[in-house]
Chain A
Amino acid sequence: MNDLLRMILLDANTQWVLIGTMLLGIASGVLGGIALLRKQSLIGDAVAHAALPGICIAFLLSGEKSLFVLLIGATITGLLAAYSIQFIISSSIIKEDAAICLVLSVFFGFGIVLLTKVSQTPSGNKSGLDDFIFGQAASLVGNDVKLMAGAAAVLIFITALIFKELKVLTFDPSFAKGLGLPTGLLNFLFLSLLVAAVVVGIQAVGVILMAALLITPAIAARYWTNSLSKMIVISGIFGALSGMAGTLISTLGEGLPTGPFIVVTATALFLISMLFAPERGLVTKWIKRIANNKQLRNNKLLQGEKRSGYHEL
C-alpha cells in the first residue's frame, strides 16, 4: 500500500493531476463560497448538470474526444442554463427554486438522451463520455490536465482581483450601484466565473457531484469564521484538500470514479466543522452552554445562601 502510494506520487502525470484537482478545489471553494452568500449555489448544480448535453453535442459534431472541444460544448450549454434561470426568474412568476429545478432537469434529461445516442454510435461506446457523469481525474493526461490546472489558476486570480467588488455587490447591491460599480456586468462576470469553474471541474468530479464541490467546502468554512476573506480562504483550502484526497483514493483503486471520493472527503470536513468548529460547532456550543449554565447556577446558589442567611438574621 505504501509502496503503491509512493509509486503514484512519483508519477509525473499523477503529480499534475494532483496539482490540477488541488487548484480546481481552491477555485471551486472560493467561487462556491461567494455563490453561497449570493444564494446561487444551486445555480452551480444546474449548470453542472446542463454541461452534459453540451459535451455530447460537441462529441457528436466533432466526432472525437478532445477535451477542449467537449468543454467548449459544456460551457455553451452551461451558460445557456445559467442565463435561462436568470431570465425565467426575472420575466415570469416562477420562483428561483422552481426555475433551477426546471432548467436542471430539462438539460440533464436531454443530456442523458444524447449520451444514450452517443453510446450507440460505433466510436461512442468506447468514447469514455460516461466518465463525465461521476468524474475520472486519473484518466486526465498530458495537456488536458494542464488545461484544467491553468484554467483553475486563472479563475482564482480573477476572483482575487475583483474580490472587494464582489464583496460589496453581494452584501449590498444597491450600495454597490451607488458607489458607481457596474453591478450588471459584475453579476454577469461572477456567473461566468461560476460556470467556468463547473466546466473545468466536470472531467474530474463529474456533472452530478460537481455542485457538492462548490457548496460543501463553503458551508464547512462558514463554521470557522465571521470574516468573509477568511471564510473564502478556508473554503479554498477545504476544496483543495477534498480534490487531492479524492484523486489519491480513486487513483489507488483501479478505475474508481473520482467525484464521489472528493465529495465524501468534503463532507467529512463539513461534519468535523459542524461539530467541532470553535464557537459555532454543535459540540463546542453544547459544552460551552453546560459550563455556562453550571456557573450561572452556582452563582444563584451563592445568592440564595446569602438571602437565606439574611432571613435568619
Chain B
Amino acid sequence: MNPVVVENLTVAYQKKPVLSNVSFEVPEGKLIGIIGPNGAGKSTLIKAILGLIPKAAGEIKIYDKKYRPKDRVVGYVPQRGSVDWDFPTNALDVVLMGRYGHVGWFKRPGKKDTEIAMECLKKVGMEKYANRQISQLSGGQQQRVFLARALAQDAKVYFMDEPFVGVDAATERAIIELLNELKRQGKTVLVVHHDLQTVKEYFDHVMLLNVNTIAAGPTEEVFTLENLTRTYGGKLSFLEKDQLIVEQK
C-alpha cells in the first residue's frame, strides 16, 4: 500500500491553476525529493495534500484513505518564514506542540510528552537550547526546532518544505542523517529541495514538478538532463553546469 497517492490534482488560487492534473505516487520507506523552480507549486502541493488549502479537483489518498489530520499519520515542517518568531515561548514548548494531537482536547501535555519532546530536541542537536526563547535562536536553529516538532508528532509520512534553507553544511548533514534514520524506521519522507547537486546523493525517488508533474520515480531513472530541461525550461543555461557536476559524481 503506497503511503501517498495523488491523482489528477488541480489547485487554483485564482483563475489560472497553480497545479494542474498532478499525479504521482510514492513508495513506503523512501526519501523523496520534490524538485521544481520557484513558483512551480511545490509548497502548494504539500498544503493541498495536507488539506490546508482547498483543491479544485482530484484525488488524494494517504495510506489508501482520504486524509484526515485526526489519524495522525502525517507530520509537517512548514517553510520557516511562516510564523512569528517573536511569540513568547521557548524551543521545548514549540516541540511540545507536536504532541498536542496525541494529548487531545482540554488536557495538558504530561511528563511523558515532555520526555519525548526533549528526545526529539536531542535528535536535532538542540537539547542545550530547550529553554531558549525562540526569537533568540538563529535561523538554522529555528529550522531544527521545527524538525524536532515534526518528529514529536511521531507520524508515518513526513512533508518538509525546504528544511535545508539557511542551514550550514554540518546541519544539513545532520538533518540528512536524521531523515535516513526515519527511513530506516519505515517512514516516508517527502522533502522540497532546491539544490540540484545533492539530489542524487540524498533521495531515492524524485518528483519533478512545474504546474504539472514532469516526471516521478526512482532518482536514477527520472533525474535526467532531459527531464530537468523540461522542468526548468529557459533557465537551463546555468543549469547545465550543475548538471555536469551531478553527472560526473
The interface of chain A, by Cβ under 8 A from chain B, is 37, 161-162, 164-165, 167-168, 170-172, 174-175, 177-181, 222, 225-228, 231
Contact = CB atoms under 8 A, between A and B. Distances in A.
B72 interface: yes
Contacts, number: 74
B84 A171 contact: yes
Interface string B67-80: 01110101010100
B78 A177 contact: no
A174 B69 contact: no
A272 B98 CA distance: 37
B85 to A, nearest CB: 10
Contacts of B106: 161-162, 164
Given A175-B76, A175-B78, A180 B88 contact: no
A180 B72 contact: yes
Nearest to A172: B83
A177 B74 CA distance: 12
Contact of A178 (B50, B108, B109, B133): B50
Contacts of B238: none
Interface of B: 47, 50-52, 68-70, 72, 74, 76, 78, 82-84, 87-90, 93-94, 97, 100-101, 103, 105-109, 133, 149
A165 B97 CA distance: 9
B128 to A, nearest CB: 17
Contacts of B100: 164-165, 168, 179, 181
A174 B52 contact: yes
Contact of A175 (B70, B97, B103, B133): B97
13 contacts: A164-B106, A164-B107, A165-B105, A168-B100, A172-B83, A174-B50, A174-B76, A175-B76, A178-B74, A180-B72, A180-B101, A226-B89, A226-B90
A226 B88 contact: yes
B101 A179 contact: yes
A226 B93 CA distance: 11
B103 A177 contact: no
A226 B94 contact: no
A186 to B, nearest CB: 11
Contacts of A225: 88
A226 B68 contact: no
Contacts of A231: 88
Given A167-B89, A177-B51, A227-B90, 4 more contacts: A164-B107, A165-B100, A171-B94, A175-B97
